Amino acid sequence: MGYPPEVYELAESELEKRRMLSEQELEKCREILYARSPRAEEIERTIAKTSVRAAKAVLNGADVKAELTELKKNNLALKKELDEIISGFGFPKDYLELRHKCGDCKDRGDIDGKMCSCMKTLLRQISYDRLNRSSPLSLSDFDSFSLDYYSKTSESGSSVSPYTRMNGVYAYCKKYARTFSSESKSLLFQGAPGLGKTHLSLAIARELIERGFGVIYVSAPELLSRMARENVDFNYSENISTGQYLSDCDLLILDDLGTEYSTKFTVAALYNIINNRVILSKPTIISTNLSVKELEEKYDKRIVSRIIGTMDRVLFSGADIRQIKKKLKNQSKTNDQKE
């Protein structure tokens, strides 16, 4: 599954917390019961001691079998008495047992070495939370995407209006998310800043994460500077490194390609990331403000042809929605002041 190592670590520590919590709850139940019935405490203590006595019997070389049978008989009688005390107070039968959040794996996260479904859910939730935290658009989903921001008048040199084009883009992205599979195509989102590229890619991410896919969303400048810092080496792909999870995830979203400061390292790193995904035929969504010509100028032509050759190009058009929203906000402010 394609999650970064930190996500697994967070999930493990969450499970540990759950296990501790059920221990604490059990401790509380004990206190309540003991307060009401000192005899219950006595019984539990005695039962705990029996295991020590059994071990001693073995060590002393006494008639072990007879001794153990005796102990077992005593234990059963004590357990029965304890059960009666518990039910006498109207407590449930399992009152002195650990109550786990997930009964299947007892909050261990796996069953016989296979990942439990609670762990899968947890991983999904954590990566979803992280996605929202690391992106500025925590509310980017398909519902909050409005077509009202796109003009119905065609721009010069174009036969379709931004509204018509974006209507198509929106429908396309929704369908992409709905029908996503490992065989889905890679997409290249192209267009000027503020047209909704990040918004729609996050909307796709959100929907896929909810359905249990491993999605990584990263901005290219952030990722590349991190990789340069960590000195990620792609030749050692067995390492659980940044490079590994970038190749492993079901969908990689590489946002804002072209805004990073480019060096020999970043160009090579980018080529490796994209190339690995192409080889594994895993889908990637790349968004960029640059045109094909600008991309070719900034990167090796090889990379660009690799990008264009395997991806569906999705062209965004319209006016900067960030600016439109700002203007609307200012307008409502001045209106408020006038009133």
Ligand X SMILES: Nc1ncnc2c1ncn2[C@@H]1O[C@H](COP(=O)(O)OP(=O)(O)O)[C@@H](O)[C@H]1O
Binding interface with ligand X (CB under 6 A): 137, 140, 144-146, 149, 193-199, 321-322
Q: Which residue is nearest to ligand X, using beta carbons?
A: 196
Q: Which is nearer to Zn ion, 107 or 256 (CB)?
A: 107
Q: Which residues of 251-286 are buried (b: 16+ CB within 10 A; e: fewer)?
A: bbbbbbbbebeeeeebbebbbbbbebbbeeebbbbb
> Contact, 145 vs 200, CB < 8 A?
yes
Distance between CA atoms of residues 270 and 310, nearest Å: 15
| Residue 199, contacted partner among Zn ion, ligand X, Mg ion, none, CB below 5-8 A by kind | ligand X
| Cα–Cα nearest to 300, from 272, 337, 276, 333 | 272
Q: 149 or 213, CB closer to ligand X?
A: 149
If contact means CB under 5 to 8 A according to the sort of partner, which of ligand X, Zn ion, Mg ion, none does residue 322 touch? ligand X
34, interface contact from Mg ion, ligand X, Zn ion, none, CB < 5-8 Å by kind = none
Q: Choose among 211, 220, 276: nearest CA to 245.
A: 276
Please, what is the minimum distance in Å from the beta carbon of residue 196 to ligand X? 3
Neighbours of 25 (CB within 10 A): 12
Length of the chain: 339
Say how far residue 168 (Cα) sits from the centre of its chain. 29
**Residue 137's binding partner out of ligand X, Zn ion, Mg ion, none, with CB under 5 to 8 Å set by partner kind:** ligand X
In the chain, which residue ranges form alpha helices assigned H by DSSP?
A: 5-36, 38-60, 64-88, 117-134, 162-178, 197-210, 220-230, 242-248, 264-279, 292-298, 301-310, 321-338
Location of structure tokens 């029965």: 80
List 313's β-bridge partners, or say none. 188
Size of the site for Zn ion (CB under 5 A): 5
- Is 292:257 a contact under the CB 8 Å cutoff? no
Minimum Å gap between C-beta 190 and ligand X is 10
Nearer to ligand X, 140 or 242 (CB): 140
Of the two residues 193 and 212, which places its CB atom closer to ligand X in the complex? 193
SS3 221: helix
* Least separation in angstroms between CB 197 and Mg ion: 5
Is the Cβ of residue 37 or residue 167 nearer to ligand X in the bound state? 167
Of 119 and 307, nearer to Zn ion (C-beta) is 119
Per partner kind, with CB cut-offs from 5 to 8 A, the member of Mg ion, ligand X, Zn ion, none near residue 116 is: Zn ion
Shortest separation between residue 289's beta carbon and ligand X, angstroms: 7
String marking each residue 84-113 x if it binds Zn ion according to CB under 5 A: ------------------x-xx--------
Judge whether 186 and 240 are in contact, CB under 8 Å.
no
Residue 123: count of CB within 10 angstroms of its CB: 23
- Partner from Mg ion, ligand X, Zn ion, none contacting 6, C-beta within 5 to 8 A by type: none
Q: What residues numbered 190-209 form the site for Mg ion, per CB under 5 A?
A: 198
Is residue 118 a contact residue for Zn ion (CB under 5 A)? yes
Interacting residues toward Zn ion by CB under 5 A = 102, 104-105, 116, 118
Interacting residues toward Mg ion by CB under 5 A = 198
